A = this chain, B = another copy of it.
Amino acid sequence: MEELRDVAIIGVGMTKFGKSDKSVVELFAEAANQAMEDAGIVGKDVEVLFVGNCFGGFYEGFMNMAPHLAWEIGAKTAPAFRLEGACASATYAFILAWNWVASGMVDIAIAGGTERSMLPGTPYATRTFAMGAEKFESDCGMTFPGVFATCAMLYSKTYDIPLEKLREMMAYVSIKNHKHGALNPKAQFYKKYGELKVEDVINSRMIAYPLTLLDCCPFSDGASAVVLCSADIARRFTDEPIYVLGVGAASGGGLHRQEDYIKPIARVTSARKAFKMAGLSPDDIQYFEGHDCFTIAEIILLEACGFFEWGKAAKATMEGETEIGGKIPTNISGGLIGKGHPVGCTGTAQVYACVEQMLGKAVKGNQVTPPPEIAMTDNLGGDFASLGHIILGRSKRSKYRR
* Residues A61 and B139 in contact, CB atoms below 8 Å apart: yes
Q: In whole Å, how far is A341's beta carbon from the nearest beta carbon of chain B?
A: 15
One digit per residue, 1 when the CB lies within 8 angstroms of any chain B CB and 0 when it does not, for chain A 120-136 equals 00000000100111110
When chains A and B are docked, how far (Å) is the Cα of A71 from the Cα of B251?
8
| Interface presence of A70 (CB below 8 A) | yes
Q: Which residues of B contact A265 (CB under 8 A)?
A: 77
Q: Which residues of B contact A132 (CB under 8 A)?
A: 63-64
- Knowing A3-B104, A83-B81, the reply to whether A61 touches B131 (Cβ < 8 A) is yes
Closest B residue by C-beta to A69: B251
| Interface presence of A269 (CB below 8 A) | yes
Which one of A34-42, A52-60, A360-368 contacts B? A52-60
Name, among A60, A84, A86, A92, the residue most crowded by chain B CB atoms within 10 Å (CB to CB).
Answer: A84
* Residues B79 and A82 in contact, CB atoms below 8 Å apart: no
| Interface presence of A110 (CB below 8 A) | no
| Interface presence of A253 (CB below 8 A) | yes
Cβ-defined partner of A103 (8 Å) among B68, B77, B103, B257:
B103
- Knowing A55-B57, A61-B131, A139-B61, the reply to whether A66 touches B104 (Cβ < 8 A) is no
One digit per residue, 1 when the CB lies within 8 angstroms of any chain B CB and 0 when it does not, for chain A 378-393 equals 0001100110000000
When chains A and B are docked, how far (Å) is the Cα of A60 from the Cα of B254?
17
Name, among A25, A63, A132, the residue most crowded by chain B CB atoms within 10 Å (CB to CB).
Answer: A63
* Residues A135 and B57 in contact, CB atoms below 8 Å apart: no
When chains A and B are docked, how far (Å) is the Cα of A231 from the Cα of B220?
45
When chains A and B are docked, how far (Å) is the Cα of A40 from the Cα of B134?
29
| Interface presence of A266 (CB below 8 A) | yes
* Residues A251 and B82 in contact, CB atoms below 8 Å apart: no
| Interface presence of A249 (CB below 8 A) | yes
Which one of A94-102, A201-209, A298-306 contacts B? A94-102
Per the 8 Å Cβ criterion, residues 330-377 of A in contact with B are none
User: What are 16 A-B pairs with beta-carbon distances under 8 A?
Assistant: A55-B57, A55-B63, A58-B58, A61-B135, A63-B382, A64-B84, A64-B381, A66-B85, A67-B386, A68-B385, A71-B252, A71-B254, A77-B250, A78-B250, A81-B83, A81-B249
The 4 A-B residue pairs whose C-beta atoms are closest, nearest first, are A103-B103, A67-B251, A71-B253, A79-B249
Q: Which residues of B contact A150 (CB under 8 A)?
A: none
* Residues B105 and A64 in contact, CB atoms below 8 Å apart: no
Name, among A25, A67, A83, the residue most crowded by chain B CB atoms within 10 Å (CB to CB).
Answer: A67
| Interface presence of A20 (CB below 8 A) | no
* Residues B103 and A253 in contact, CB atoms below 8 Å apart: no
Q: Which residues of B contact A57 (CB under 8 A)?
A: 54-55, 57-58, 84, 131
- Knowing A3-B3, A57-B55, A386-B80, the reply to whether A257 touches B64 (Cβ < 8 A) is no
